[in-house]
Amino acid sequence: MKVKQLVWTLVIAILGVTATAAFISNQAVNPKMIKQLAPVQDAYLLRPKTHIRHTQRPEETYSFPIKLGETGPVLPLFSGPIHYPFICMTEESGLGEPLIDNQNKWGTPVFKTNTDRLKHSSIAGYSKDCSIKTAFNVYKVDSANTISKFNPETQLETGEYLVRVEYGVINRYIYLIAMPITLDEINTRTAASQWNKKLIYQFTGGAGIGFRQGTMKPEKLIKRRLEQLKAGYAVVASGANRTSYTYNMLLSEDTARRLKAHFVSLYNEPEYTVGVGGSGGGLAQYLMAQNAPGLIDGALPLYSYPDMVSQTLYALDCDLFNSFYSFKTSDSFWQNWDNRVVVEGLNTKSGEPHPSALFQPINQILKAQKPIFPEGNSECINGWFGLYAFIHNPKQGWLRDYVSDKIESNVQWNYWQDLVNIYGRDRQGFARHLWGNEGVQYGLKSLINQQLTIEQFIELNKKIGSWKHNAEMQPEQILKLPLADTKIWLSLWGNHNITQVDKQSGIAPRLQTDPLAVERAYRYGQIFAGLADIPIIDVRHYLEDKLDMHHASASFNSRARMQQTQGHSDNQIIWIADKNYNPVVLAFEKMDKWLMQIKAGKSLLAAKPKNLEDQCFDRDGEIIASGQNVWDGEWNRKPEGACTQQFKIYQNSRIIAGDSWKTNTFDCARVPVEQAIEQGVYGQLDISPYLKELQVIFPTGVCDYTQPDQAKPDNLALSWPSPELEPVAHQPTSR
């Protein structure tokens, strides 16, 4: 470590320890801070016997359309009780303050005037459900694609056009409907002479854990779908379909069905509905295709994953690895960042320090360890740092400026709690979760390929440990330095929430998966199990060199699952492009031809345009290669195709540990180490001298990935075509 870096590290460490600044807390600096919780509101929850795809949804209880000046439904139709706090964000969306719905101090304060809000005085009432009156505005897009509210007293210039955007709230989330119109239609809600009778459902990504309404800005929606609006498409979107605000896919579907029903009640059935959206908005389309046939007719997932929860398997491994490298090993092998890829699977880069690099030597000094300034970066850090605290830690949540300290300390702030209706609670009252790593042999494939020594393999698996049980977790230790807006992580990689090495055994305990949570996740369609019987064009830029979390392998995880469940993936096209070329407009054109052929009576596969194939693009948009074999590679155990040779497909920690490229084994079958040796799990390596040591590390056995996920229900009945729908399990509660 350079002397200058060491000096600065020591200075900042001393400041961090001696600073009079308190740990970051929720002091009342936000006039809209929620200080009192509303009681849970009961609502009907579907009870699938097999898979939710096969369970009939109840009949709609709200009479659409929502009238202008009125409010939409608050309670969902079938996704279960609604919980609080729920943070209103209509004002941040430019749509005005939420409507007052109580005087019990439940929810977001609503002030009489803006001046009163600045002074924290004269609260008129409170909004727990964040409704607004349904209305619309008209926006102008000029020849330079600048978007602004239209002034009806002005004239349109050549090259300018208009978009009407209706807004309101359904299931507590803001919705938007964008419709291209003419000047004569600016005052009429349902006029749509420019509509091509085709509908786009905009799904949006991000990482969210619930508890907030989120922002939905009309100008941003118009900008996102500018080319399609010019072509005559209508576009709908909801905050419930933006994973920045919730990954509850049951609620997402519930809201999407209602928004589409509202749209149809105003404009009649579209010729088709095509989904589009990136990251979380991409995985949402895979899950909607699987769970809710007919909701979308085609899917354009961008930068997609199969689902959110199976990503947590390897993503929550990342900070376990980082904690091991930083605090649990002295082996210099791991300080060469190129070596980390052999256990993480995701891309790494030596010589490129990450933005949080300074935290490592500070934390090492505080632990009385030799400080090492890291000179490298990885997708595990660049893409997934902090995810465990946000998604998994019930004591964190990152919502401090929205709620009081009292509320913060009494709410479980994580993704699992947002879906507690589905996952249920454990004996200690915490929301159940799906993550576990019992029996996982990290780095197994690299051991077999002699990229790891047996000693390195054993040390890693002895010490890596696991995340602690919910009840044992603590908030992150983050200090804010005085006189500076600098936040210092003193619990880097969540090391205080990771199981430590037992002094007697030398082993850090592992965490067993909760099979009940996994079963419910499967039944309620939170996991993509591989059925998606609609046209899919999966599009992404190649971002591995950027250490971006949107790695290309995710598209092939989805494909592998489809091939297992459907017997083929012929309805999924994968396009990967150089980051300088965007093929989305072309994808819309190809999807339009595919869907219109289906509408004309052709079957799904017969309707696929003949020139629509897997392909990859260079920076100028030229096709590098296309065809059914261009993406062959390790994922399907075939020689690399032309596109795979151009764009390297990385793996992840669970694939390196022996799981298949489906990467959906939540609870692996475990076999004794001696049986694993007999089955050839370790290849040609002679592991027998280390048998007793491995038995101590893995007392319940090691993962046997030739067997299926032990928590996956046998009766999901996912096949193509699907069987008849189950009847509604229970009648909805009265509204």
Q: Where along the chain do its domains lie?
A: 1-31+308-526+650-668+710-716, 64-271, 527-649
Q: Say what the pLDDT of residue 717 is.
A: 81
Answering whether pTM is above 0.85, one says: yes
DSSP state letters, 453-512: -HHHHHHHHHH---BPPGGG-----EEE-TTS--EEESSGGGGGGBPPPPTTT--PPP--
Q: Say what the pLDDT of residue 319 is.
A: 97
Q: Which residues neighbour 429 within 8 Å (Cβ) at sequence distance 6 or greater?
A: none
Print burial letters for 203-223: b (CB count within 10 Å at least 16), e (below 16). bbbebbbbbbbbbbbbbebbe
Tokens of 329: 């090993």
Question: From residue 384, how far is each of 105, 315, 649, 652, 653 by CA, in Å?
Answer: 37, 6, 18, 12, 13
Q: Say what the pLDDT of residue 12 is.
A: 52
Which stretches of the chain drop beneath a pLDDT of 70?
1-29, 115-121, 399-400, 482-485, 720-735
DSSP helix/strand/coil, 238? strand
Q: What are phi and psi of 573, to 5 degrees?
A: -105, 135
Contact 718, 53 (CB under 8 A): yes
Cα–Cα distance, 527 to 510 (Å, whole number)? 23
Tokens of 209: 């854990």
Strand partners, 250: none
DSSP state, residue 617: E
Cα–Cα distance, 373 to 126 (Å, whole number)? 50
Q: Say what the pLDDT of residue 720 is.
A: 63
Nearest alpha carbon to residue 48 among 728, 529, 722: 728
SS (H, E, C) 678-691: HCCCCCCCCCHHHH
Side-chain-side CA neighbours of residue 703 (13 Å): 29
Cα–Cα distance, 480 to 551 (Å, whole number)? 33
Q: What are phi and psi of 409, to 5 degrees?
A: -75, -10
Strands 487-489 and 478-480: antiparallel
CA dihedral 642, 645, 651, 657 (to 10 degrees): 100
First to last CA, the chain: 65
SS (H, E, C) 531-568: CCCCCEEEEEECCHHHCCCCCCHHHHHHHHHHHHHHCC
Cα–Cα distance, 524 to 528 (Å, whole number)? 10
Q: Say what the pLDDT of residue 723 is.
A: 58
Nearest alpha carbon to residue 659 among 339, 383, 341, 443: 443
Q: Say what the pLDDT of residue 719 is.
A: 73
Cα–Cα distance, 238 to 295 (Å, whole number)? 14
Nearest alpha carbon to residue 284 among 248, 257, 234: 248
Tokens of 495: 């090391």
DSSP state, residue 224: H
Crossing angle of the two packed helices 337-344 and 309-323, in degrees rounded to 10:
140
Cα–Cα distance, 216 to 235 (Å, whole number)? 13
Q: What are phi and psi of 108, to 5 degrees?
A: -80, 130
